[in-house]
């Protein structure tokens, strides 16, 4: 089977999302049990009582590489230009344990 460019890009995005998850858990081990990586899409969800934080791959045509969404109290979307900046943004949004 030959992989198409779309298939390789999608798999690369999923791996990068998993890298974000590992970086977050390394910094905040307390969120490990509340963190879910979507099995088929580059989407990460961190469950919180006050509302989830979601990290998702942005569309290829946008200027942001990743979107970080916060569900509470009003939904807010933040743009992140890289996996590292998405990780830093999520850590800021989560605050100290």
64 burial (CB, 10 Å; 0-12 / 13-18 / 19+) is middle
- Tokens for 7? 């298939």
| Separation of alpha carbons 80 and 82, rounded Å | 6
Quote the domain boundaries for residue 90: 5-94
- Tokens for 68? 């970080």
Q: What is the pLDDT of residues 14-67, one digit of tens each?
A: 888 999 999 999 999 999 999 999 888 889 999 998 889 999 988 766 566 899
pLDDT given at position 21 = 95
- Give the neighbor-by-neighbor strand order of the sheet with 66-70: 35-37, 43-46, 53-57, 66-70, 76-80
Spatial neighbors of 71 by CB under 8 A, at least 6 apart, are 51, 52, 53, 54
pLDDT grade, residue 12 (50/70/90)?
confident
The end-to-end CA distance of the chain, in Å, is: 46
Q: How many domains does the chain have?
A: 1
Q: What is the pLDDT of residues 75-93, one digit of tens each?
A: 899 999 999 999 999 999 9
pTM listed for this prediction: 0.84
**Element containing residue 73 per DSSP (H, E):** none
């Amino acid at each position: 089977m030959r992989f198409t460019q779309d298939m390789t890009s999608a798999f690369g995005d999923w791996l990068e999302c998993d890298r974000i998850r590992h970086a977050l858990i390394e910094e905040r081990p307390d969120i490990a049990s509340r963190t879910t990586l979507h099995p088929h899409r580059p989407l990460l969800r961190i469950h919180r009582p006050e509302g989830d934080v979601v990290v998702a791959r942005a569309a290829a045509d946008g200027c942001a590489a990743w979107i970080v969404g916060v569900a509470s109290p009003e939904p807010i979307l933040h743009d992140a230009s890289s996996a590292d900046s998405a990780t830093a943004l999520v850590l800021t949004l989560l605050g100290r344990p």
